[in-house]
């Protein structure tokens, strides 16, 4: 090694270094200190995937009082096709109400698919006989009436039918809504039970039968008797719905009678929440002798009332993948106007 090269060596503390010796750097106090323990990462709470999705619509788009009032459909919009196309240009969701009064047909469901955008959603109300309501014989399919034979009473109930006819009605109902399901347009099949469908073992057995027959479908359940949500049964009812993935329907309706259950903002199926707004007209809620169902739901929500409901709807929607809000105050154009106002409040205007 030359003198010039020796001059380039740096002597560490402790004396010179022999040639070929490896010099370890002196450790600092910071390097010798124990690392600070890091907190364990906390898992994010489970919730619906993606942003909350709220769809707003009305029950029915062809109620006679809506058509007659002339305030929703534009002049010249008079055919069934034109009305549905116009409705679907204003709202993303509708509840088929006619299927309660008579079994829907597969042909109509195919037309509904053809006349609406690909992202439009239909909730379908279950045929009245399947929910235990009294059903006029005339509302039954002709072959079913013929199989029943002569009857002295004008109405029939679910329990009156032989098993094979019950099975046939279920088959026809499922077949009728299949085009909606196949096209991705079917939301929930909505089961609204009568006031005499009280919380009981037999009622729960019927619900289990409904769930078994429609095992792969979204089902929303609306009760009309206070026993389901009284102090004794509220938690039992909600747990029953959760176990069977039945969608608890949150209802806004007049209070003070046995067929009013109150609003229970609880998610029982993480895929869907349903809010149905019947109005708050206590004078007509249990009115008798009306010729049209819309007479019971003659109520115009104020913007203040809708703003209050919007707060609860937003909170509910944060806990579920999709929320359906259905206005059933279907007297004239009240439901359509209220639905449009709520969409504006929720910043959902199309």
- Give mean pLDDT, residues 128-148: 96
Six-digit token string for 134: 């009294």
Under the banding of pLDDT at 50, 70 and 90, the label for residue 264 is very high
Is the pLDDT reported for residue 30 higher than 80? no
More confident: 264 or 287: 264
At 56, which helix (H) or strand (E)?
strand 53-59
Residue 43 lies in a domain: no
In 3-state terms, what secondary structure has residue 293?
helix
The answer to whether the CB of 209 falls within 8 A of the CB of 179 is: no
pTM of the shown model: 0.84
**What is the domain extent for residue 338?**
53-345
The answer to whether the CB of 116 falls within 8 A of the CB of 108 is: no
Six-digit token string for 80: 């069934």
Using the CB atoms, write b or e for 197-227: b if 16+ within 10 Å: bbbeeebeebbeebbebbeebbbbbbbbbbb
Under the banding of pLDDT at 50, 70 and 90, the label for residue 51 is low
Using the CB atoms, write b or e for 35-61: b if 16+ within 10 Å: eeeeeeeeeeeeebeeebebbbbbbbb
Residue 229 — left, alpha, or beta (φ > 0 → left; ψ -120 to 50 → alpha)? alpha
- What CATH number is given to the structural domain containing 186? 3.20.20.410
In 3-state terms, what secondary structure has residue 194?
coil
- Give mean pLDDT, residues 147-173: 95
Is the pLDDT reported for residue 14 higher than 50? no
| Rounded Cα distance, 233 and 105, in Å | 37
| Rounded Cα distance, 22 and 118, in Å | 74
Give the pLDDT of residue 318: 96
More confident: 280 or 4: 280
The answer to whether the CB of 305 falls within 8 A of the CB of 324 is: no
Query: What's the pLDDT tens digit per position in 176-222?
Result: 999 999 999 999 999 999 999 999 999 999 999 999 999 999 999 99
Under the banding of pLDDT at 50, 70 and 90, the label for residue 33 is low
| Rounded Cα distance, 200 and 250, in Å | 21
Residue 267 lies in a domain: yes
More confident: 173 or 286: 173
Residue 221 lies in a domain: yes
Give the pLDDT of residue 293: 73
Residue 17 lies in a domain: no
Is the pLDDT reported for residue 27 higher than 60? no
In 3-state terms, what secondary structure has residue 121?
strand
Work out the angle at residue 79's Cα, subtended by the Cα atoms of residues 73 and 84, and round it to the nearest 5 degrees: 60
Give the pLDDT of residue 283: 85
The answer to whether the CB of 127 falls within 8 A of the CB of 176 is: no
Query: What's the pLDDT tens digit per position in 91-126?
Result: 999 999 999 999 999 999 999 999 999 999 999 999
Query: What's the pLDDT tens digit per position in 34-47?
Result: 555 555 555 444 44
Under the banding of pLDDT at 50, 70 and 90, the label for residue 131 is very high
Residue 278 lies in a domain: yes
In terms of C-beta distances under 8 Å and separation of at least 24 residues, what long-range contacts does 76-82 make, across chains too? 80/111, 81/111, 81/115
- Give mean pLDDT, residues 210-238: 97
Q: Calculate the average pLDDT of the chain.
A: 88
Instruction: State the total domains in the chain.
Output: 1
Under the banding of pLDDT at 50, 70 and 90, the label for residue 330 is confident
Is the pLDDT reported for residue 128 higher than 70? yes
Give the pLDDT of residue 15: 47
Residue 4 lies in a domain: no
Is the pLDDT reported for residue 4 higher than 60? no
Q: How many CA atoms lie within 13 A of 262 on its CB side?
A: 11
Residue 205 lies in a domain: yes
Under the banding of pLDDT at 50, 70 and 90, the label for residue 271 is very high
Give the pLDDT of residue 35: 55
Is the pLDDT reported for residue 8 higher than 60? no
- Give mean pLDDT, residues 317-340: 96
Is the pLDDT reported for residue 163 higher than 90? yes
Residue 36 lies in a domain: no
Residue 20 — left, alpha, or beta (φ > 0 → left; ψ -120 to 50 → alpha)? left
Which has the closest alpha carbon to 326: 54, 124, 59? 59
């Amino acid at each position: 090694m030359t003198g010039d090269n020796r001059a380039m060596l740096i002597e560490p503390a402790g004396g010179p270094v022999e040639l070929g010796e490896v010099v370890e750097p002196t450790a600092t106090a910071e390097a010798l200190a124990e690392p600070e323990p890091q907190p364990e990462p906390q898992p994010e709470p489970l919730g619906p995937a993606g942003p909350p999705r709220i769809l707003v619509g009305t029950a029915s788009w062809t109620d006679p009082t809506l058509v007659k009032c002339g305030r929703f459909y534009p002049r010249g919009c008079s055919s069934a096709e034109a009305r549905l196309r116009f409705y679907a240009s204003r709202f993303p969701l509708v509840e088929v109400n006619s299927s309660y009064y008579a079994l829907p047909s597969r042909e109509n469901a195919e037309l509904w698919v053809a006349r609406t955008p690909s992202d439009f959603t239909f909730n379908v109300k279950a045929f009245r006989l399947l929910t235990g309501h009294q059903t006029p014989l005339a509302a039954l399919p002709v072959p079913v009436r013929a199989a029943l034979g002569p009857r002295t009473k004008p109405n029939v109930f679910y329990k009156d039918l032989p098993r094979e006819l019950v099975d046939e009605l279920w088959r026809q109902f499922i077949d009728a809504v299949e085009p909606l399901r196949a096209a991705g347009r079917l939301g929930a099949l909505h089961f609204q039970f009568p006031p005499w469908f009280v919380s009981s073992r037999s009622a729960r057995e019927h619900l289990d039968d409904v769930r078994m027959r429609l095992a792969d479908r979204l089902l929303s359940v609306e009760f009309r008797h206070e026993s389901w949500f009284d102090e004794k049964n509220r938690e039992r009812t909600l747990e029953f719905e959760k176990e069977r993935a039945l969608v608890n329907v949150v209802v806004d309706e007049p209070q003070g009678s046995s067929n009013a259950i109150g609003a229970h903002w609880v998610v029982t199926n993480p895929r869907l929440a349903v809010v149905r707004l019947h109005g708050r007209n206590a004078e007509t809620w249990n009115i008798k002798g009306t010729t049209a169902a819309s007479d019971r739901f003659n109520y115009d929500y104020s913007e203040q009332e809708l703003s209050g409901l919007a707060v609860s709807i937003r909170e509910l929607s944060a806990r579920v993948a999709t929320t359906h809000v259905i206005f059933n105050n279907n007297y004239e154009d009240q439901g359509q106007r209220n639905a449009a106002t709520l969409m504006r409040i929720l910043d959902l205007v199309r």
